[in-house]
Amino acid sequence: MEIQATSPLRGNDSEIPFGKAEPVILFRKPMEKKRSLQEIFEAEESPLLRFAFGLTKQRETAEDLVQEAFLRLHEHFEQVDQPRAWLYRAVRNLALNHLRDHRKETALEDDGEVIEHRASPERVIGKFEAVDRLRILMAELSDSDRELIGLKYHEELKYEQISERTGLSVGNVGYKLHHLLKGLADGLRRMGIESMDG
């Protein structure tokens, strides 16, 4: 015995068997025009260079990696649906390969701290990505909030000294710093960073 179902789109007089109904598309995303390679290059070259430099800490290497990523995109442009994401993934992978192949070179952080040679390339890249994302979050803060964090962590001032410099009460300095740091940590977690090691 075959079970019959009525199609809500065709009315009760047209019956079709289960499993043979035509699919109903509820929403269709409008077709977006794909940007040209030139437009992508103009929009993404500078951010990609900053990203690559954040990973390698070497300007020439960063330029080489970005150039290589664009060359590879050119070769596969017709097959790539999301060129921006593809480029960032390519630069990250190229940087990872570069760090793996050049383990003996000493990498320096902005503050001059030497990263141990024993650290895996994945860990080094994770740390650079965490620092890069923290910089993005810091850039979104107000000038006064950035100044407060700078006074505490760059100038290493005590709450009383920060209070004298900013005119805020000591309690307010502590309160604001606590909430700023919590907000930065939450922002990093939303970006997929659980610790400053990446």
Confidence of residue 36 (pLDDT cuts 50, 70, 90): confident
- Per-residue pLDDT reduced to its tens digit, 11-35: 444 444 444 445 444 443 444 577 8
Closest CA to 92 of 53, 59, 60, 119: 53
Residue, of 124 and 45, whose pLDDT is higher: 45
Q: Give yes or no for residue 126 having a pLDDT over 90.
A: no
Q: How far is residue 187's CA from residue 109's CA, in Å, rounded to a whole number?
A: 22
Six token digits for residue 116: 């141990």
Q: Provide the angle, in degrees to the nearest 10, between the axes of the packed helices 170-190 and 121-139.
A: 130
Q: State the average pLDDT over residues 110-122.
A: 51
Residue 29 corresponds to which amino acid? K
Distance of CA 165 to the CA centre of its chain: 35
Contacting residues for 96 by C-beta, under 8 A, at least 6 apart: 121, 122, 125
- Per-residue pLDDT reduced to its tens digit, 38-47: 888 888 888 8
SS3 19: coil
- Say what the pLDDT of residue 9 is: 44
- Say what the pLDDT of residue 103 is: 66
DSSP state for residue 140 in the 8-state scheme: T
The answer, as to whether pTM is greater than 0.75, is no
